[in-house]
Chain A
Amino acid sequence: MAENKIRLRIVTPVRELYDEEAEMVIMRSSIGDIGILHGHQPLTTTLDYGFLRIINGEDEVKATIFGGFASVDERGITVLSDAAEWPEEIDEGRAMAAKERAENRIRSNDDSVDIARAELALRRALIRLEAKGK
């Protein structure tokens, strides 16, 4: 089955998170989840906040991705994201605190609060907590 694998690279501005082969990669694009297998047509897509799942037989590894984009070509998949991390790197306490902070901001009805930003922060926190909680 080795020939049916696709190379995946996850790159962020500060480091290279992943550079290995995978059987299937499922990611959250801006128009919904997409799964990519070996031999996929060239594709460039923007990514939403969410999980990226790397499937190798029975194994499944998850990473959280916050925006960015992915390009698929004959060399494989390249995911470029501002922030990407493994669940074990996530600080649960920090994510919890961020969630509460964001919720308070949204609830506060204060005009000076940037609701859109607070909502993004809340979504990030929720995804991080979900990654931790599985």
Chain B
Amino acid sequence: MASMRDIKRRIKSVNSTQQITKAMNLVASSKLTRAKNRLMDTRPFFQETRKVIAGVVNGSKGISHPFLEQREVKKKAIILITGDRGLCGGYNANVSKAAMSHADDVNNVSAITVGSKGREFFKRRGIKIIESFTGISEKPGYSDALKIGQLALDLFTKGEADEIYLAYTEFITTLYSEPKVIKVLPVDVNEFTNDDGDSSGQSLTIYEPDEEAVLEYVIPKYVNTVIFGAMVESAVCELGARMTAMDSATENASEMIDSLNLLYNRARQGQITQEITEIVGGSGIYD
């Protein structure tokens, strides 16, 4: 049995760890509330942008635009959204793995990463990183999304990538989120035809200056919005995952302290018994 002093020291160390995890849990949960509100605020813009694209696509059959064109896929690019920090359960690993499943041939894939965890993940696997953004994943701004969107559009138009994917984490509930990989470019027209962009009267819509110009303007906006939405959603998931992870860590620490306390008391009792035995033995009563 370990000595009393050792046990005491372990209790102390577990206790201070517990204090940290508890604080992190509280911080994450208060940040989570705010991040959730932000997520709600970004949704209307996203939905309305989709509707406009759906309107243009449905209203004018057979529209063609470089951003809608499917090309033979030789090179892919992946935008991976992760956090900067760990201690959030499987959050970073899950989304990175999901992204990796789309990178069948490492040599033909390049990546734009958000968050240092994703950068390290791709670096280790030898995937070329075009640009990485760090320090923004917890509170992404629209201007960050603009930069990434511009980068993605440039890659696509210059032919450096024939398909661009976006790997992020979808928020379902605080306890549950799911990594997701979607294709951002080329924009899939068929995806919109099923939307509620009610086709009646769509053909009467006037486009100023004209349909192509509207599409030219709206599609980059759409890509930016998708990226921004994904960043905000991932931030919520990261905080949710951290909260859950820290909550269970705090609980585990409590359990550990309990069992260590038991051990400590047993050791203390054992020592007392031994001392009594020694005193009794030393007194010579039983001689």
Chain A residues with CB under 8 Å of chain B are 9, 11-16, 29-31, 34, 41-46, 68-69, 71, 73-74, 78, 80, 82
Give B204's nearest chain A residue, CB to CB.
A42
Chain B residues with CB under 8 Å of chain A are 38, 41-42, 44-45, 48-49, 51-52, 55-56, 142, 145-146, 201-202, 204-209, 213-214, 217-218, 221, 224-225, 228
Q: Which 6 A-B pairs have the closest CB atoms?
A: A45-B208, A42-B205, A13-B142, A11-B45, A43-B206, A15-B41
Shortest CB-to-CB span from A74 to chain B, Å, is 8
A11 adjacent to B206 (CB under 8 Å): no
**Which residues of B sit under 8 angstroms from A12, Cβ to Cβ?**
45
Most-contacted residue by chain B among A30, A74, A80 (CB, 10 A): A80
**Which residues of A sit under 8 angstroms from B56, Cβ to Cβ?**
44
Q: How far is the CA of A34 from the CA of B206 in the complex (A)?
A: 13
Shortest CB-to-CB span from B87 to chain A, Å, is 28
Cβ-neighbour of B207 out of A11, A45, A73, A74 (below 8 A): A45
Ordered by A's residue number, 6 sampled pairs between the chains whose C-beta atoms are within 8 Å are A45-B208, A45-B214, A46-B217, A73-B201, A80-B52, A80-B221
Cβ-neighbour of B41 out of A14, A30, A43, A82 (below 8 A): A14
Shortest CB-to-CB span from B261 to chain A, Å, is 50
Give A45's nearest chain B residue, CB to CB.
B208
Cβ-neighbour of A69 out of B202, B205, B217, B228 (below 8 A): B217
Cβ-neighbour of B213 out of A9, A34, A46, A80 (below 8 A): A46
B41 adjacent to A44 (CB under 8 Å): no
Q: How far is the CA of A9 from the CA of B52 in the complex (A)?
A: 14
Most-contacted residue by chain A among B45, B201, B209, B217 (CB, 10 A): B45
Shortest CB-to-CB span from A126 to chain B, Å, is 21
B218 adjacent to A69 (CB under 8 Å): yes
A16 adjacent to B206 (CB under 8 Å): no
Q: How far is the CA of A14 from the CA of B217 in the complex (A)?
A: 19
Q: How far is the CA of A43 from the CA of B59 in the complex (A)?
A: 12
Q: How far is the CA of A80 from the CA of B52 in the complex (A)?
A: 10
Shortest CB-to-CB span from A65 to chain B, Å, is 14
Q: How far is the CA of A62 from the CA of B207 in the complex (A)?
A: 25
Q: How far is the CA of A34 from the CA of B208 in the complex (A)?
A: 11
A13 adjacent to B45 (CB under 8 Å): yes
Give A79's nearest chain B residue, CB to CB.
B48
A44-B142 CB under 8 A given contacts A13-B42, A14-B42: no
A16 adjacent to B208 (CB under 8 Å): no
Give B197's nearest chain A residue, CB to CB.
A73
Most-contacted residue by chain B among A31, A41, A78 (CB, 10 A): A78
Most-contacted residue by chain A among B52, B208, B214, B217 (CB, 10 A): B208
B51 adjacent to A71 (CB under 8 Å): yes
B142 adjacent to A82 (CB under 8 Å): yes
Cβ-neighbour of A16 out of B38, B41, B49, B217 (below 8 A): B41
Give B229's nearest chain A residue, CB to CB.
A13
**Which residues of B sit under 8 angstroms from A29, Cβ to Cβ?**
208
A42 adjacent to B208 (CB under 8 Å): no
B201 adjacent to A43 (CB under 8 Å): no
Q: How far is the CA of A7 from the CA of B218 in the complex (A)?
A: 22
B214 adjacent to A69 (CB under 8 Å): yes
**Which residues of A sit under 8 angstroms from B38, Cβ to Cβ?**
14
Q: How far is the CA of A82 from the CA of B213 in the complex (A)?
A: 18
Cβ-neighbour of A71 out of B52, B204, B209, B221 (below 8 A): B52
